Amino acid sequence: MFGIRRPLRLVAGAVLVAASLALGACAQPPTPSDDPTSNGSQIVIDTTFDIKTADPGREYEPTGQIVVKALYDTLLTFADNDSTKVIPDLATYEASADLTEFTFTLVQGRVFSDGLPVTADDVVFSLQRLQGLKGNPSFLLDGVTVTKVDDQTVKLTTEQPNPALPSILATPSAGILNSTVVKSHGGAIDETDQAEEFLNSTSAGSGPYTLQRLDIASEAVLVKNPQYNGSQRPTYDTVILRNVEPATQKMNVERGESQVALGLSGDQVTSLSSSVKLTSTPSATVVFLLINADPAISTLTSNPQFVQAVKSAIDYAALVDLAGAGAGQATSLIPTQFLGTLPTSQALTFDLEQAKAAATAAGANGQTVTLSFPNDIDPTGLPLVNVAQKIQAQLAAAGITVDLAPAPFATEIDAYRDGKEQIGLWYWNPDYMDPANYLAFGPGQTVGLRSGWKADANPAIADLVTQGYTTGDLAQRKALFEAWGLAMNAESPFVPLLQPASNVVSQPSVTNVYYNPVWIINVAGLGRA
């Protein structure tokens, strides 16, 4: 997970994913009866692993989010079936009128898995550790000062108004640790911290589950926390997460050898057995094109007429069909699950004649541009090479000649970050559940600069970015982000393409199956018919 300072969440562990998939494909996955905790009240969930650690202050990959969400409560959270507003978890809160001061009051009586009470000292330690480790998720609390008021109260102050902070604090990486235990195993609030090894074998949280075993290449086993006294009592005594390649996931869930499969593509779910349930919705992953606005990179791609030609030449419906069941067009860079997304009526549209005219006006005829993309990453089962080939053909129909330049993520990521791609095909998964996460695409912002789009390139959109980071009123924020989305569609060098499907397949006995944009699925919320 990368957020504003990183390109996209899912690609952080690309090399690890490839290695994990290889292991998952070659090794025989364990069956429920292989596990010593098997007691008839367990659930087996198959997925493709992207996890490097179970340490909340360091983890920021999708599988890691699933695990850490189950082990560590956060100050605030979201209901399983509603990702639009935060609700209390370990604390309630009040914000100052200018949204620079947030006061959290801990819920009375909450305890860690060893029975120790959750206190303000634990909150301060956990959040300051998240900042001080300088790990992938540390940027979440940039510009935030964390102080203890009393044993039950913590105050967070920000340099600028920060309406997104409550949503950020619901992210699993902001989980609250038992400071007494973690400090005794080398924990610290800076880079001298030595507690990761301990946290990869024994959890130290107040969540509904504790960690029994973690192998980042194959399996995570979670067991019910007997001390848990929060509001979401888990149904299953044991949760087994297994790293299994998608074709085997499909067979396992259809045969009842697993109860949930998280990694099936749109094509795979079209041939599912009628004996299983499918929850299929567009994911919060946005696949997009970056068209470089820097003339030093390309005088053609930096031409606004060329950008308009590309936006008009793309047959968005055909891309959605390519992605398969459950996918949808990205109406803007803000996905459909978030405040400020645009309705389908305001999405970019395919107009081949307009594209041809704009391409001619830009002088595209006779020129060749390069489309670069990572060829070893498939967001939610969608191979980017397939998308690139489809786009190449669509642009050719408008008179734009494109050479494809696939490369391993480890190679291509530097060109993307350094703003060297003429056209880039990438995707973005949300770091936290607030539309401010997407302002990084604005002029002069982190991703904007990767497209050569400087702060003074579009002062009107730059002003919307400033307002988006600081405006707190809900109705005003909704209108502001909608205006930002429309302006970005019309004038930015980015082309939102599609949201691939999130396909969750489950046995009929499993209930309360809800997709979440950040932690994918809340295992503690799963029920049983």
Contact (Cβ atoms closer than 8 angstroms) between residue 293 and residue 302 = yes
**Domain range spanning residue 305?**
286-499
Distance of CA 212 to the CA centre of its chain: 26
pLDDT at 452: 97
In a domain, residue 50? The reply is yes
pLDDT band at 244 (very low <50, low <70, confident <90, very high): very high
In a domain, residue 18? The reply is no
**CATH number of the domain bearing residue 489:** 3.10.105.10
Residue 432 vs residues 38, 65, 170, 172, 438: alpha-carbon distances, Å: 34, 11, 8, 10, 10
pLDDT at 9: 37
Residue 104 has φ and ψ, to the nearest 5°, of: -110, 130
Residue 33 vs residues 38, 218, 257, 298, 496: alpha-carbon distances, Å: 6, 16, 10, 59, 45
Contact (Cβ atoms closer than 8 angstroms) between residue 502 and residue 380 = yes
pLDDT tens by residue, 487-527:
999 999 999 999 999 999 999 999 999 999 899 999 999 99
In whole numbers, what is the pLDDT of the chain averaged over residues? 91
pLDDT at 61: 87
Burial of 32 (0-12, 13-18, 19+ CB in 10 A): middle
| Position with higher pLDDT, 69 vs 160 | 69
Q: How far apart are CA 197 and CA 503, in angstroms?
A: 33
192 and 295 together in one domain: no
pLDDT at 233: 92
Instruction: Give the DSSP letter string of 225-252.
Output: -TT--SS---S-SEEEEEE--HHHHHHH
pLDDT at 1: 43
pLDDT at 62: 87
Q: What is the mean pLDDT of residues 371-399?
A: 92
119 and 42 together in one domain: yes
320 and 332 together in one domain: yes
Q: Return all residues near 258 (Cβ < 8 A) that are at least 6 apart.
A: 44, 45, 46, 242, 244, 249, 252
Q: What is the mean pLDDT of residues 182-205?
A: 97
370 and 254 together in one domain: no
Is the model's pLDDT at 36 over the cut of 70? no
Extract the tokens encoding 129: 């550790």
For the chain, how long is the longest CA-to-CA vector?
Answer: 71
361 and 228 together in one domain: no
In a domain, residue 72? The reply is yes
pLDDT at 224: 97
**Predicted TM-score (pTM) of this structure:** 0.84
pLDDT tens by residue, 100-136:
999 999 999 999 999 999 999 999 999 999 999 999 8
Q: Return all residues near 273 (Cβ < 8 A) that are at least 6 apart.
A: 254
Written in H, E and C, the secondary structure of 274-334 is CCCEEEEEECCCEEEEEECCCCCCCCCCCCHHHHHHHHHHCCHHHHHHHHECCCEECCCCC
pLDDT at 281: 85
Q: What is the mean pLDDT of residues 12-16?
A: 32
Crossing angle for the helix pair 474-491 and 459-470, to the nearest 10 degrees: 150
58 and 45 together in one domain: yes
pLDDT tens by residue, 417-457:
999 999 999 999 898 999 999 999 999 999 999 999 999 99
Neighbours of 444 (CB within 10 A): 15
Nearest CA among 110, 94, 73 for reference residue 154: 94
Q: How far apart are CA 469 and CA 155, in angstroms?
A: 20
Extract the tokens encoding 41: 């009240």
pLDDT band at 48 (very low <50, low <70, confident <90, very high): confident
| Position with higher pLDDT, 442 vs 20 | 442
Q: How far apart are CA 510 and CA 239, in angstroms?
A: 13
Burial of 255 (0-12, 13-18, 19+ CB in 10 A): exposed
In a domain, residue 406? The reply is yes
Least confident of 37-51, 259-273, 444-458: 37-51
Q: Return all residues near 263 (Cβ < 8 A) that are at least 6 apart.
A: 46, 47, 48, 244, 245, 246, 249, 381
pLDDT at 49: 87
- Can you tell me which residue has the tokens 């944009």? 517
pLDDT at 226: 96
- Can you tell me which residue has the tokens 């926390």? 225
Q: Please tell me the chain's helix, strand, coil percentages from 3-state DSSP, rounded to the nearest 5.
A: 35, 20, 40
What single DSSP character describes residue 442? Answer: S
pLDDT at 409: 86
pLDDT at 263: 84
431 and 510 together in one domain: no
In a domain, residue 11? The reply is no
460 and 401 together in one domain: yes
End-to-end CA distance of the chain: 34
Distance of CA 172 to the CA centre of its chain: 12
pLDDT at 347: 98
Beta strands in 335-463 (DSSP E): 368-374, 401-407, 423-428
In a domain, residue 424? The reply is yes
Is the model's pLDDT at 3 over the cut of 60? no
230 and 374 together in one domain: no
192 and 317 together in one domain: no
In a domain, residue 26? The reply is no
Give me the number of domains the chain comprises: 2
pLDDT tens by residue, 347-384:
999 999 999 999 999 999 999 999 999 998 777 778 89
Contact (Cβ atoms closer than 8 angstroms) between residue 432 and residue 447 = no
In a domain, residue 4? The reply is no
Q: What is the mean pLDDT of residues 30-52?
A: 67
261 and 334 together in one domain: no
Contact (Cβ atoms closer than 8 angstroms) between residue 197 and residue 40 = no
Q: How far apart are CA 450 and CA 444, in angstroms?
A: 9
Long-range contact set of residues 187-195: C-beta below 8 Å, sequence gap at least 24: 187/125, 187/129, 188/129, 188/132, 189/125, 189/128, 189/129, 189/131, 189/132, 190/132, 190/133, 191/132, 191/133, 191/134, 193/57, 193/129, 193/132, 193/133, 195/55
Neighbours of 232 (CB within 10 A): 16
Q: How far apart are CA 409 and CA 13, in angstroms?
A: 10
pLDDT at 6: 38
- Can you tell me which residue has the tokens 């973005």? 428
**CATH number of the domain bearing residue 100:** 3.40.190.10
Q: Return all residues near 249 (Cβ < 8 A) that are at least 6 apart.
A: 46, 47, 48, 258, 261, 262, 263, 264, 505
Is the model's pLDDT at 309 over the cut of 90? yes
174 and 124 together in one domain: yes
Q: What is the mean pLDDT of residues 251-276?
A: 92
pLDDT band at 266 (very low <50, low <70, confident <90, very high): confident
Nearest CA among 374, 371, 417, 376 for reference residue 393: 371
- Can you tell me which residue has the tokens 């102050």? 157
What is the bridge-based pairing of β-strands 423-428 and 368-374?
parallel
